[in-house]
């Protein structure tokens, strides 16, 4: 989704902004632009990759020590140069980059039209630039305070004012925004986009505005100066490099044993972290939901109670049943997924105690929840999550308590073995002709099946269905015909009999079954199989998912897909 970078310092800001925009590319975007302060503010924008923006800058260089930049992922208005940020006020006084959604955009457009200004773009963001110039009487911080008081919705704003060409102004509401300090001062929606020399950051809170100079920042709340805590940054995306791998997804797959080991051995958690309360609900989106679902049997065993697992976007609109004394665990790799953050707020309103499991310590989710437990996967650049998923399963294993401690400790070694077994999936694109692929499993294997299907869909664009093996016969089996690929995941020896039946049912209809299993009996019943090491059946998704990730990767590679940046997708989905 959209990304913000800003820099003011004693050197040319343009390369800093371009490097920052490149570091933000992984979030997904369709256009990008920069604004540089000077005698007047200059903007350069381009649709498509950052490289086309760079070409424009090569053809007509711009230089200046203070600027802002943006990668846009279109919501309001198509990806065109006109809709690309930064947006300028009609008088040329202000340039604005914006992440989030201005919900009262229509009213505000009417207001600026009354003032004789006609918006040029289809975006909800442009209006902020015009409002700033209407609210300005010589002090940009005051103008920003007035303008943000008119906005409804979510926003992270970076602003330049032509009258103060060395300063950047910022405002934050329900969309992340960080200030970084090093050789100059930086603004970004994502710590991974900050330059390497940034050694301290301030995480802006909702309702805060800020003024950035080359020497630091001043933070305000409702117009009054407030303290500005500086902390050490936990990630540096600019440090993330391919290290010889062709794609971040492959690199991150191979980082899983180490990432799991770090997660289970390096404590990064709040003070009270643990399972507590009279009921437990796990919430997430996409892969985080799948990780939660795969651990339902584990947590039911650990708590001795039934455990609910909900999609964040559905939980929000479920009945508001009071939940005092109950606990809600919210999983999010990024810690910035809007649905999950909204679900955390809703859970607190219903009376749940809230616990975040996230990979980003300084994220909105950790600040929204009562308590947190951090996975230690390191920066994840590929849009398709891999180590994010497996470290979440490991973290849930930690939460499940001492009964599972030895099984959790085995996970890094088992993940290593699963990676080796997955090597056998190289060049497997040939299995798939574009028709629907099924992934089936029971219990923890069902969560892994959903994740396997999601991986294949998102990076290869092949239709895939993750299904509880017992459900196949209730309708979806009508899609099985000669050659239909079915991936059967079976890691629980107690379910071998049932799984053999499901496999036979598929094969009878001509389906081609690839087993992902530790059981020789299951493997023998399949057309072919990836052999996993034996793994605790309630933590098995951390291991069984690895060949599924590799399968998706190899298929997408064979089809020539843009593996790390699949079409239409964003790394962190910051709108509901
Ligand atoms: O950062 P989060 O874990 O909250 O993200 C949730 C989903 O958007 C994410 O898992 C998505 O499904 C991934 N692209 C899957 O690979």
Fold of domain 248-558: Rossmann fold (3.40.50)
pLDDT the model gives residue 509: 94
pLDDT the model gives residue 427: 66
Ligand 1 centroid, distance to 534 Cα (angstroms): 28
For residue 326, CA distances in Å to 276, 354, 355, 415 come to 8, 9, 11, 33
The tokens for 381 are 């650049």
The tokens for 118 are 């006609």
Residue 570 CA: which ligand 1 atom is closest?
Answer: 14
Q: How far apart are the first and last CA of the chain?
A: 12
Whether the pLDDT of residue 394 is over 90: the answer is yes
Question: Residue 216 and residue 210: Cα distance in Å, rounded?
Answer: 10
Any atom of ligand 1 within 6 Å of the Cβ of 334? yes
pLDDT the model gives residue 322: 84
Any atom of ligand 1 within 6 Å of the Cβ of 202? no
Please name the residue whose Cα sits nearest to atom 14 of ligand 1: 384
The tokens for 286 are 């996409």
Ligand 1 centroid, distance to 572 Cα (angstroms): 7
> What would the mean pLDDT of 33-44 be, rounded to a whole number?
95
Whether the pLDDT of residue 573 is over 80: the answer is no
Please name the residue whose Cα sits nearest to atom 4 of ligand 1: 332
Question: Residue 341 and residue 200: Cα distance in Å, rounded?
Answer: 25
Residue 340 CA: which ligand 1 atom is closest?
Answer: 4
Task: Report the predicted TM-score, pTM, of the whole model to 2 decimal places.
Answer: 0.77
| Residue of 285, 315, 365, 384 to test ligand 1 pocket, by largest number of atoms within 8 Å of CB | 285
For residue 238, CA distances in Å to 17, 172, 235, 401 come to 12, 24, 9, 36
Q: Confidence band (pLDDT; 50, 70, 90) for 174?
A: confident
Give yes or no for a contact between 480 and 320, defined as CB atoms under 8 angstroms apart.
no
Residue 290 CA: which ligand 1 atom is closest?
Answer: 10
Q: What φ, ψ does residue 227 adopt, rounded to 5°?
A: -65, 155
Ligand 1 centroid, distance to 288 Cα (angstroms): 6
pLDDT the model gives residue 112: 94
Query: What is the distance of C-alpha 310 from the center of its chain?
Result: 18
Q: Confidence band (pLDDT; 50, 70, 90) for 489?
A: very high
Any atom of ligand 1 within 6 Å of the Cβ of 375? no
pLDDT the model gives residue 272: 67
Whether the pLDDT of residue 237 is over 50: the answer is no
pLDDT the model gives residue 269: 72
Active site residue 251: no
Residues present in the chain in total: 576
Q: Which residues pair with 512 in a beta bridge?
A: 485
Any atom of ligand 1 within 6 Å of the Cβ of 291? no
Any atom of ligand 1 within 6 Å of the Cβ of 378? no
Whether the pLDDT of residue 236 is over 60: the answer is no
Question: Residue 121 and residue 111: Cα distance in Å, rounded?
Answer: 16
* Bigger pLDDT: 293 vs 199: 293
Burial class (CB in 10 A: 0-12, 13-18, 19+), 531: middle
Query: Taking the domains of the chain in order of start, what are their residue ranges?
Result: 3-238, 248-558
User: Looking at residue 388, what DSSP letter applies?
Assistant: H
* Bigger pLDDT: 258 vs 274: 258
Question: Residue 350 and residue 344: Cα distance in Å, rounded?
Answer: 10
Query: Residue 484, CB half-sphere, CA atoms under 13 Å: how many?
Result: 25
Q: What φ, ψ does residue 47 adopt, rounded to 5°?
A: -85, 145
Give the SS3 label for residue 400: coil
Question: Residue 242 and residue 247: Cα distance in Å, rounded?
Answer: 7
Residue 388 CA: which ligand 1 atom is closest?
Answer: 3
Residue 385 CA: which ligand 1 atom is closest?
Answer: 16
Express each pLDDT in 337-388 by its tens digit.
Answer: 999 999 999 999 999 999 999 998 888 899 899 999 999 998 898 999 999 9
Ligand 1 centroid, distance to 383 Cα (angstroms): 8
Ligand 1 centroid, distance to 10 Cα (angstroms): 38
pLDDT the model gives residue 518: 96
Give yes or no for a contact between 512 and 431, defined as CB atoms under 8 angstroms apart.
yes
pLDDT the model gives residue 240: 66
For residue 268, CA distances in Å to 133, 216, 358, 360 come to 44, 28, 10, 10
Averaged pLDDT of the chain = 92
Any atom of ligand 1 within 6 Å of the Cβ of 456? no
User: Looking at residue 93, what DSSP letter applies?
Assistant: -
Whether the pLDDT of residue 48 is over 50: the answer is yes
For residue 127, CA distances in Å to 85, 132, 245, 519 come to 12, 9, 43, 61
Burial class (CB in 10 A: 0-12, 13-18, 19+), 425: buried
Express each pLDDT in 278-333 by its tens digit.
Answer: 899 999 999 999 999 999 999 999 999 999 999 999 999 998 888 888 999 999 99
Architecture per CATH, domain 3-238, reads as 4-Layer Sandwich (3.60)
Question: Residue 383 and residue 386: Cα distance in Å, rounded?
Answer: 9
Query: Residue 268, CB half-sphere, CA atoms under 13 Å: how many?
Result: 18
Any atom of ligand 1 within 6 Å of the Cβ of 340? yes
User: For the CA atoms of the chain, what is the radius of gyration?
Assistant: 25
Question: Residue 567 and residue 554: Cα distance in Å, rounded?
Answer: 17
Any atom of ligand 1 within 6 Å of the Cβ of 364? no
Whether the pLDDT of residue 73 is over 90: the answer is no
Whether the pLDDT of residue 26 is over 60: the answer is yes
382 closest CA partner among 334, 322, 329: 334
The Cα angle at residue 204 between residues 64 and 214, in degrees rounded to 5 = 25
pLDDT the model gives residue 238: 53
Any atom of ligand 1 within 6 Å of the Cβ of 392? no
**Given the residues 45, 251, 455, 571, the one annotated as active site:** 571
Question: Residue 573 and residue 570: Cα distance in Å, rounded?
Answer: 6
Q: Among the listed ranges 81-85, 225-229, 237-241, 283-287, which one has the minimum average pLDDT value?
A: 237-241
Ligand 1 centroid, distance to 287 Cα (angstroms): 5
Any atom of ligand 1 within 6 Å of the Cβ of 343? no
- Helix H segments across 60-187? 105-114, 126-134, 140-150
Residue 365 CA: which ligand 1 atom is closest?
Answer: 4
Active site residue 2: yes
Question: Residue 409 and residue 46: Cα distance in Å, rounded?
Answer: 49
Under 8 Å CB-to-CB from 501, ≥6 apart: which residues? none
| Residue of 283, 287, 461 to test ligand 1 pocket, by largest number of atoms within 8 Å of CB | 287
**For residues 219, 223, 225 and 230, what is the CA-based torsion angle, rounded to 10 degrees?**
-20
Give yes or no for a contact between 495 and 442, defined as CB atoms under 8 angstroms apart.
yes
Ligand 1 centroid, distance to 353 Cα (angstroms): 23
pLDDT the model gives residue 429: 64
Ligand 1 centroid, distance to 316 Cα (angstroms): 17
């Amino acid at each position: 989704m959209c990304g913000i970078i800003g820099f003011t310092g004693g050197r040319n800001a343009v390369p800093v902004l371009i490097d920052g925009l490149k570091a933000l590319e992984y979030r997904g975007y369709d256009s990008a632009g920069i604004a540089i302060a000077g005698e007047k503010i200059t903007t350069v924008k381009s649709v498509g990759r950052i490289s086309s923006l760079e070409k424009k800058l090569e053809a007509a260089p711009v230089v200046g020590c203070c600027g802002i930049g943006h990668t846009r992922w279109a919501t309001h208005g198509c990806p065109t140069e006109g809709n690309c940020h930064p947006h300028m006020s009609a008088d040329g006084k202000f340039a604005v980059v914006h992440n989030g959604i201005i919900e009262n955009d229509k009213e505000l457009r009417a207001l600026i039209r009354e003032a004789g200004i006609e918006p040029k773009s289809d975006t909800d963001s442009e209006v902020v630039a015009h409002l700033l110039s209407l609210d300005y009487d010589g002090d940009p911080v005051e103008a920003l305070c007035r303008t943000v008081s008119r906005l409804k919705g979510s926003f992270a704003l970076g602003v330049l004012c032509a009258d103060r060409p060395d300063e950047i102004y910022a405002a934050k509401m329900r969309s992340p925004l960080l200030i970084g300090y090093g050789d100059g001062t930086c603004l970004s929606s994502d710590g991974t986009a900050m330059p390497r020399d940034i050694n301290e950051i301030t995480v802006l809170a909702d309702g805060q505005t800020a003024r950035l100079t080359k020497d630091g920042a001043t933070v305000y709340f409702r117009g009054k100066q407030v303290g500005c805590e500086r902390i050490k940054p936990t990630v540096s995306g600019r440090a993330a490099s391919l290290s010889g791998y062709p794609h971040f997804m492959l690199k991150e797959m191979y980082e899983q044993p180490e990432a799991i080991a770090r997660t289970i051995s390096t404590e990064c958690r709040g003070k009270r972290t643990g399972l507590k309360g009279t009921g437990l609900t796990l919430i997430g989106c996409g892969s985080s939901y799948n990780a939660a679902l795969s651990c339902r049997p584990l947590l039911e065993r650990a708590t001795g109670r039934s455990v609910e697992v909900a999609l964040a976007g559905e939980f929000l609109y479920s009945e508001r049943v009071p939940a005092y004394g109950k606990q809600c665990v919210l999983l999010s790799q990024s810690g910035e997924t809007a649905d999950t953050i909204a679900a955390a707020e809703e859970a607190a309103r219903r009376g749940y105690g809230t616990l975040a499991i996230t990979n980003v310590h300084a994220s909105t989710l950790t600040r929204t929840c009562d308590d947190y437990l951090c996975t230690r996967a390191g920066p994840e650049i590929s849009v398709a999550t891999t180590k994010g998923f497996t470290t979440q399963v490991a973290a849930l294993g930690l939460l499940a308590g001492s009964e599972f401690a030895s099984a959790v400790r085995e996970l890094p070694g088992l993940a290593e073995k699963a990676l080796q077994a997955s090597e056998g999936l190289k060049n497997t694109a040939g299995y798939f002709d574009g028709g629907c692929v099924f992934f089936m499993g029971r219990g923890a294997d069902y969560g892994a099946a959903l994740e396997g299907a999601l991986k294949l869909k998102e990076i290869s664009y092949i239709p895939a269905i993750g299904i509880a093996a017992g459900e196949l016969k209730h309708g979806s089996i009508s899609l099985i015909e000669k050659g239909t690929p079915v991936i059967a995941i079976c890691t629980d020896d107690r379910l071998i009999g049932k799984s053999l039946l499901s496999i036979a049912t598929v094969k009878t209809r001509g389906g081609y079954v690839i087993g992902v299993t530790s059981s020789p009996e299951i493997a023998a019943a399949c057309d072919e199989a990836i052999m996993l090491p034996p793994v605790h059946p309630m933590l098995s998704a951390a291991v069984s998912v690895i060949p599924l990730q590799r399968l998706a990767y190899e298929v997408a590679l064979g089809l020539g897909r843009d593996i790390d940046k699949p079409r239409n997708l964003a790394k962190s989905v910051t709108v509901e």
